[in-house]
Structure 1
Amino acid sequence: MASSKPRRTRGNVTWLPSGSARVSVYGGVDQVTGKQIRLRETVTARATKRETEREADKAVTRLLNQVDERRSPRTETTVNQLIDRWLDVIEVERKTRAGYVGKIEKHIRPTIGRLPVGRVTAETLDTLYARLRRCRDHCHGEKYIQHRTTAEHVCDEHSARRKCAKIVAGDPDATCRWCDRTCRHHVCTPLSAGSVRVVHAILSGAFQRAIRWGWIVTSPVDQVDPPSVPRPNPNPPTAEEAAQIMQAAESDPDWSALIWLTMTTGARRGEICGLRWPDVDLERGVVVFRSSIGQIAGDVWEKDTKTHQHRRVTIDPELVLVLMAHRERCETRAAELDMTVRRDGFVFSPAINGSVQLNPDTVTQRYGRMVKRLGITTHLHCLRHYSATELIAAGVDIRTVAGRLGHAGGGSTTLRTYTAFVLESEQRSAAALASRRPPMQRR
């Protein structure tokens, strides 16, 4: 005899006009936003309502199991502990690791670091990303004074001796060097989409490890969409600006040789600093980039190139003569001090015998000061963009350009980065063809 009691349904089932069922289950309260968490799923209509009801019950059971898993996870490990364990086991380059640690300390630990791993939801991460896109300092909309230092200090540095140039000149747009050093009201600055993607990648890698270790069943990161990839927008110096840069560098022949080599080969700054004399074949006009110099603050070390591959780049005869003259200067300076240039010495070195490499940050800072004096808004890496765009404009195929730059992916990275310049080159090619084509006879 069938029971007269109505069938008890766990969760909330709403019937839609189409005959489908919308299932909703209460999943607790989000620790970050304080809002209720609702897990939802829509069950499409089956042949009969009874079959749809059975599928809805299964959906309710499945969602409740997910809720139970989050409420009573297999581990009480926090996100901080997971991140620490993840950093112990991953294999990444030192500078990449330093970048990860910086993002973790700034954006992950202060926000969700104390939450249990099993209770982090997709909504938690969506809320975190939204806040990062609003303000990188996690101000939560609060107004406060952003101090320039944590040590004891006087916030207002304007004084009788340090008068504000804006007041003295009566011009609110005047530049005052003391204003830049004073504490000021916080102004929200959003975190870039690229940096938010790095935070997303860190969390994705850590939670995937947690699944592999059996700490959780599913990863909330898989249910979150990271910001779209920022479109590359290289801004190389113009031909006129490049000429000004080379002319300004001529006052120091060694510095001029470094700039010339960077501009011609499009090599990264670490590869230029790590270049040794055995890798420069002046007879054949070939330079081989085998290693690079990495630097984090005062810590400097030699490492592989970014793609971990050796790269042969052909150089023009004029650059060969420049490097020959640079080699002769190095040998002359060493002979004056009864020394010799080491066979494996660095091409560009502050040491007479070439035993010490240039620091990449030193090169960047010197280049920055030089272009600032010239009134050109650019930086050292733009010489790499300059080399690529000039090669593309000259009609060199993308694969060859990618090989010279050391781009991985068979040219896909090069094409994605310099698409605008490829299109411009194609337009010039079409115009050049049109100018040489015989005119069409009009009837």
Structure 2
Amino acid sequence: MDTKAKRALTPAQAHKFIDVLNPETDRECAYLLAITMGLRRGEICGLSWGDIDFDRKVADIRHSYDARGNLKATKTKAGTRVLPLSDKTVQILKDHKGAQFKRYARTNQWRKLEEGYIEQTDDSPVITDNCGTRILPTSLSRWWTEDRAKYGLDGWCLHEFRHTYLTLLAIQGAHPKVMQELAGHYSSQISIDIYTHVNMDSKRQAVDIVSAVF
């Protein structure tokens, strides 16, 4: 549930984390999509290259991949959304797609014809395992559990990157309704709660600045 995640990286922490990630790897590209797009695990795993429009700089979020390996439509109407992509995220996806294409080409050199060659098509998953297969959300969580300590984020869960994304939107003054639509929330209450919390923190900082004069 979205309401479970309460922690968020600060802007400085988020910037530092993003800078050390390599978008050419599946693991780290997945983490980048979580924090720069605010996607859920199933949405990251359900993303295909045909969902990305590099010319228009948008991503069509319309599928979720479940724990049983089923690619389904998003659970709610609100979950189906078109997300604008920042220049940073566009470059992340371009770098990853190029690296994936090269990896498939190398793999196809030693695969036998009867095994089938790996092709990169519109239906191909953005995030895959070593064999080019779409990964389960549980596998993505396992990746993160294995990796998080090296980023100094031991104890953090993947969903807290989604919370970080929304918190950073609120810090930049995004309206709760815009936050709701970008996150694919059915209700605006979660976005309002985050916005209110961030706004109160800003007010508290302002009061502290003034109180230092007294």
TM-score, length-normalised on structure 2?
0.79
Q: What is the alpha-carbon distance in structure 1 between the residues aligned to residue 142 and residue 198 of structure 2?
A: 28
Q: How far apart are 1:407 and its partner, in Å? A: 0.8
Q: How far apart are 1:244 and its partner, in Å? A: 4.7
Does the residue aligned with 2:69 lie in a helix, a strand or coil? strand
**Structure 1 residues 362, 423: closer, same or farther in 2, change over 3 A?**
same
Q: Does 1:371 align with 2:143?
A: no
Q: How far apart are 1:419 and its partner, in Å? A: 2.9
Q: Does 1:300 align with 2:41?
A: no
Which residue is equivalent to 2:121? 342
Q: What is the alpha-carbon distance in structure 1 between the residues aligned to residue 37 and residue 28 of structure 2?
A: 14
**Structure 1 residues 375, 256: closer, same or farther in 2, change over 3 A?**
closer
Which residue is equivalent to 2:112? none
Q: What is the alpha-carbon distance in structure 1 between the residues aligned to residue 137 and residue 97 of structure 2?
A: 21
Q: How far apart are 1:347 and its partner, in Å? A: 0.7
Does the residue aligned with 1:373 lie in a helix, a strand or coil? helix
Partner residue of 2:200 out of 423, 435, 438: 423
Q: What is the alpha-carbon distance in structure 2 between the residues aligned to residue 328 and residue 233 of structure 1?
A: 33
The structure with the largest alpha-carbon Rg is 1
Q: How far apart are 1:368 and its partner, in Å? A: 2.1
Q: What is the alpha-carbon distance in structure 2 between the residues aligned to residue 345 and residue 286 of structure 1?
A: 17
Partner residue of 2:175 out of 390, 397, 404: 397
Does the residue aligned with 1:312 lie in a helix, a strand or coil? strand
Partner residue of 1:327 out of 67, 75, 97: 97
Q: What is the alpha-carbon distance in structure 2 between the residues aligned to residue 324 and residue 366 of structure 1?
A: 22
Partner residue of 1:266 out of 27, 38, 43: 38
Bigger helix fraction: 2
Alignment of 1:175-324 (within 5 A): 234-250=6-22, 253-295=25-67, 299-308=68-77, 309-324=79-94
Q: How far apart are 1:247 and its partner, in Å? A: 4.7
Q: What is the alpha-carbon distance in structure 2 between the residues aligned to residue 393 and residue 277 of structure 1?
A: 31
Does the residue aligned with 1:422 lie in a helix, a strand or coil? helix
Identical columns (%): 25
Deviation per residue, 1:169-192 (Å, 9 max, x gap): xxxxxxxxxxxxxxxxxxxxxxxx
Q: How many residues get paired? A: 196
Bigger shift: 277-286 or 411-420? 411-420
Amino acid at match of 2:66: G
Amino acid at match of 2:134: Q
Does the residue aligned with 2:201 lie in a helix, a strand or coil? helix
Give the structure, 1 or 2, with the largest relative contact order (CA under 8 Å, sep 6 or more). Answer: 2
Does the residue aligned with 2:146 lie in a helix, a strand or coil? helix
**Structure 1 residues 359, 233: closer, same or farther in 2, change over 3 A?**
closer
**Structure 1 residues 233, 261: closer, same or farther in 2, change over 3 A?**
closer
**Structure 1 residues 369, 232: closer, same or farther in 2, change over 3 A?**
closer
Which residue is equivalent to 1:385? 163
Q: How far apart are 1:275 and its partner, in Å? A: 0.3
Q: How far apart are 1:379 and its partner, in Å? A: 1.0
Amino acid at match of 1:282: F
User: Contact 1:392–1:425 (CA<8 Å) still a contact in 2?
Assistant: no
Q: What is the alpha-carbon distance in structure 2 between the residues aligned to residue 331 and residue 252 of structure 1?
A: 10
Does the residue aligned with 2:60 lie in a helix, a strand or coil? strand
**Structure 1 residues 233, 341: closer, same or farther in 2, change over 3 A?**
closer
User: Contact 2:167–2:194 (CA<8 Å) still a contact in 1?
Assistant: no
User: Contact 1:331–1:341 (CA<8 Å) still a contact in 2?
Assistant: yes
TM-score, length-normalised on structure 1?
0.40
